[in-house]
Chain A
Amino acid sequence: MIILEHINYWVVVILMMTGFYVVISHNNLVKKLIGINIFQTSIFILFISFGKVDGGTAPILSEGYQNFSAPLPHVLILTAIVVGIATTALGLALVIRINRAFNTVEDDEIKKAMSQ
């Protein structure tokens, strides 16, 4: 059952490639941003799944919590999520301004407008 053992990696890879595909294939700038988000989420899952210990509990410093998951990845991912949100926010802000400037959020139309 080697596949199931590594189920977290499979999920990560599938999510990552889905996100990546969306970024590459879609013409719409907002959809590209959504793709980026899916892509980043997969990395969050990757990190958190590293920290998970079988049967581990939440990492609380107290009696009865011997076997707990590693807390560090969670902390890291909290930071990474903040970074991700900032990126998405900035990206969306750019898209709004692009829409005002070019009257479109479609990749090819913007390129056409720029080459003129």
Chain B
Amino acid sequence: MTSHLAVLQVVTPLLAAPVVVILHNKTLGWLIATLVSLSCFIIACVLCLQIYDGNNIVYTLGGWAAPAGIEYHVDRLTAFLLIIISGLATFILIGARESIDNEISADRLYLFYTAFLLNLTGLLGVIVTGDAFNVFVFIEIASLSSYALISIGRDKRSLYAAYQYLIFGTIGASFILIAIGLMYAVTGTLNIHDLHERLAHVQDSRTLITALAFFIIGIGLKAAIWPLHIWLPDAYTYSPSIVSTFLAGTSTKVFIYVLIRFVFSIFGIEFSINELSVQYILMSVALIAIVYGSLQAIKQDSLKRLLAYSSIAQIGYMILAISLVTVAGVAAGLIHVFNHAIIKVTLFLCVANIIYFTGTDSINKLAGLGKQMPVTCGLFVIAGLSIIGVPLTAGFTSKWFLIKATIDSGYWLVIPVIVISSLMAIVYIWKVVEQIYFKEADHAHVVTNKAMPYSMYVSLFVFTAACIYFGLQTDINVGLAQLIADDLIGARP
């Protein structure tokens, strides 16, 4: 049984999805989805323990050996991401029922859980598979289900947001497919490890450059890297809160993973840097993303949209860290992938609660909310401090490692950008804090005064606790991230 753990990661949610459809029951749907996510999380943890020493697991699907068959490959990077994704799925779902019931019409609830499970399948599949074409298939599974998830709510604008995302997403995925096709054309293999070995000997670098270019654009669309991010704000704003929460925490992270995997493990650093100076392209794009995202976030009135733009800025941080191409830099990027997932999910869960309570996420209508929802607002402040990067929260660790990696690499001019964008983060978080704590309640706005069900606090508390825990104890995430960075860049200084 234990030898099949790698594939169970994908198969379990995939099989559970049709079961949920057949059962046609929202409670059972929730139960199954949560249990499946939990089992994936446990499997991911077990896998992580197994490969922690560096003994990677290779699982051949159906017993067909590598070049012809499909391999699943678990190394530290894989395990790291698997834990993030399945962990987020589990802990978001545990407390999500009330919010989901509230924002999605009753006849579609079982479909929500189906789409959720399919999405989970796709995301986990992308990570665990060792086959380039398989990556594309799983990306499409994840994307198609996320289009459905976004449009499942009551807000009719979500339909258009989903459609937009569909167009951009499909183009992105197709670009990635072209890149994979070109690589296949030069090497005759799709296995990621074979690809790496054979690409090293390929002389015809023009095809490869084309492949790399297609890949970078495709992944940029998918991971919402500036300027290819335009689908993201709408998608996060109009979709049901729990969907925004889950997507913000997981989907872009997975594409960052694909970027790391392809650039470092397939194309190889030497090639990526020398032939296409990917490093500088990514770095400049990341810097713009950081500033642009933060600036836009300041301007927003919708809380969800604010967080969406903040995500764009934060994705910029991750790309920036990775583009340093040093062990410290990649480690910082991975640490931020981990921490940002937790922080952003906490923030979105707060918004989910606020929307449940007030029915709006417009900041101007939230005056005096601090008195009405003390717990949620308090937790929002903690998570907000974390995204700013205040010491003793997870966000601080990320920034610390990012700035240190930048100093070590000698990119002095980058530091002011990081620092200034932290200030902008203060501004957009402060904007909310001032409104909910320091403005008198305006009685014109509608407060439904629904009693908040306790279950809605469960996930929120878990993630806030994580925000603080990973600010104080960094052994797990930082330790693992540094090992992974060593694996990826190895002896390279």
Contacts and interface: CB of A to CB of B under 8 A. Distances in A.
Interface of A: 20, 23, 29, 32, 36, 39-40, 43, 46-47, 50, 70, 72-73, 76, 79-80, 83, 86-87, 90-91, 94-95, 97-98, 101-102, 110, 114
Interface of B: 133, 136-137, 140, 144, 147-148, 151, 156-157, 159-160, 162-163, 166-167, 170-171, 174, 177-178, 181, 184-185, 188, 190
A110 B160 contact: yes
Contacts of A70: 188
A87 B144 contact: yes
B159 A40 contact: no
B159 A98 contact: yes
B162 A50 contact: no
Contact of B170 (A36, A73, A79): A36
A43 B178 contact: yes
B151 A94 contact: yes
A90 B160 contact: no
B144 A90 contact: yes
B163 A98 contact: yes
Contact of B166 (A90, A97, A114): A90
The 5 closest A-B pairs by CB, nearest first: A101-B156, A83-B140, A94-B163, A50-B185, A98-B159
Given A50-B185, A114-B157, A79 B144 contact: no
Contacts of B148: 90
Please report whether the interface of chain B is mostly helix, strand, loop or mixed according to DSSP.
helix
A43 B177 contact: yes
A43 B172 CA distance: 13
Contact of B163 (A29, A46, A73): A29
Contacts of B136: 80, 83
B147 A23 contact: no
Contacts of B162: 94
B170 A97 contact: no
Contacts of B174: 39-40, 43
A70 B455 CA distance: 56
Given A36-B171, A101-B156, A86 B140 contact: yes
Contact of B137 (A40, A83, A95): A83
Q: Which of A20, A83, A86, A102 has the most CB of B within 10 A?
A: A83
Given A23-B171, A97-B151, 9 more contacts: A23-B167, A29-B163, A36-B170, A73-B181, A73-B184, A83-B144, A90-B147, A94-B147, A94-B159
B75 to A, nearest CB: 25
Nearest to B177: A43
B149 to A, nearest CB: 12
Contacts of A47: 181, 184
A74 B338 CA distance: 38
